[in-house]
């Protein structure tokens, strides 16, 4: 059961940051996952009055407020045009529309949950987080940082030439994913992100440079690189089992989804 001693709807980020320095304080976010746990909260901090919801686009980046709902990501035409529909694909299976209207992108990124579709998707782009105290840092760095008492203000996606595909495997349509995967070409960088393994999403390393200069390869060269990298990822990305799937099943999915996603990025398959 979730127990809250006091509730404060703050008037500024500075006030939220000060209140959040207490170990038993907590930022509520969308409160869809938080309410399902057992926790005693001395001060519940509500950011909903600070105007931190919404998606702003400039010539160089998308700035997504921490209180922006997952439904807003799903329906934003600009983001979905930029990601070839991958943003929509990454969130549309999460429970249901009512849930996605409440769940926030800030809560999903800050939580760094092992099952997070959102974290997998944003790691597949040139994404930065803006923290009140620590400033702007790459999401690739933030995801491995120890949780602290800072406040996540914005998620920033820097615009680069992008070709991206998001896929997930679920046992049932609205269940937690068995595996998530995002394959992307960020400029000339080939990146493969694998989540729900059952652990926090990671970038699958490519020390042998199998996917290097992927866009410049012929179709046959791309197919061979995909086959080789899919096997390499399955061998080197760690997985484990839980009630939704065994370690062996997830390892098989790593290979299959890696191949399918990169075939889509290479234009060998229709998207979604």
Given a cut of 90, is residue 268 above it in pLDDT?
no
pLDDT for residue 55 is more than 80: yes
pLDDT tens-digit series, residues 65-117: 999 999 999 999 999 999 999 999 999 999 999 999 999 999 999 999 999 99
Distance (Å, whole) CA 258 – CA 47: 38
DSSP 233-265: HHHHS----BTTB-HHHHHHHHHHHHHHHHHHH
* pLDDT over 50 at 272, yes or no: no
Strands of the sheet containing 189-195, edge to edge, are 162-169, 179-186, 189-195, 202-203
pLDDT at 139 over 70: yes
Quote the pLDDT of residue 38.
Answer: 78
The answer on pLDDT for 4 being more than 50 is yes
Q: Which superfamily, per CATH, for 163-265? A: CO dehydrogenase flavoprotein, C-terminal domain (3.30.390.50)
The answer to whether residue 269 scores a pLDDT higher than 80 is: no
Share of the chain above pLDDT 90, in %: 89
The share of the chain scoring above pLDDT 70, in percent, equals 97
State the CATH class of domain 55-158. Answer: alpha beta
Residue ranges matching CATH 3.30.465.10 in the chain: 55-158
pLDDT for res 270: 56
User: Which three-class secondary structure state does DSSP give residue 139?
Assistant: helix
Q: Mean of the pLDDT values across residues 231-257? A: 97
pLDDT at 37 > cutoff 80? no
Q: According to CATH, where is 3.30.390.50 located in the chain?
A: 163-265
pLDDT of residue 206: 97
Distance CA 182, CA 168 (A): 9
């Amino acid at each position: 059961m979730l127990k809250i001693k006091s509730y404060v709807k703050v008037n500024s980020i500075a006030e939220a940051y000060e209140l959040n320095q207490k170990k038993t304080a907590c930022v509520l976010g969308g409160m869809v996952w938080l309410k399902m746990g057992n926790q005693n909260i001395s001060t519940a901090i509500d950011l909903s009055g600070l105007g931190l919801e919404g998606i702003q686009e400039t010539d160089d980046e998308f700035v997504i407020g921490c209180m922006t709902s997952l439904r807003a990501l799903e329906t934003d035409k600009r983001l979905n045009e930029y990601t070839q529909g991958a943003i929509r694909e990454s969130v549309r299976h999460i429970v249901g529309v009512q849930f996605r209207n409440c769940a926030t992108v800030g809560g999903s990124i800050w939580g760094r949950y092992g099952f997070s579709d959102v974290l997998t998707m944003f790691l597949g782009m040139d994404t930065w987080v803006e923290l009140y105290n620590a400033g702007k840092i790459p999401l690739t760095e933030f995801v491995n940082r120890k949780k602290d008492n800072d406040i996540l203000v914005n998620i920033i996606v820097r615009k680069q030439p992008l070709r991206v595909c998001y896929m997930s495997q679920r046992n049932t349509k609205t269940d937690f994913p068995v595996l998530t995967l995002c394959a992307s070409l960020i400029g000339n960088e080939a990146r493969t992100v694998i989540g729900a393994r059952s652990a926090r999403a990671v970038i699958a390393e490519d020390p042998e440079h199998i996917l290097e200069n992927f866009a410049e390869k012929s179709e046959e060269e791309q197919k061979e690189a995909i086959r080789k990298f899919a096997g390499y990822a399955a061998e080197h990305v760690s997985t484990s089992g839980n009630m939704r799937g065994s370690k062996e099943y997830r390892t098989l999915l790593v290979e299959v989804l890696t191949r399918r996603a990169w075939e889509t990025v290479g234009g060998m398959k229709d998207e979604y």
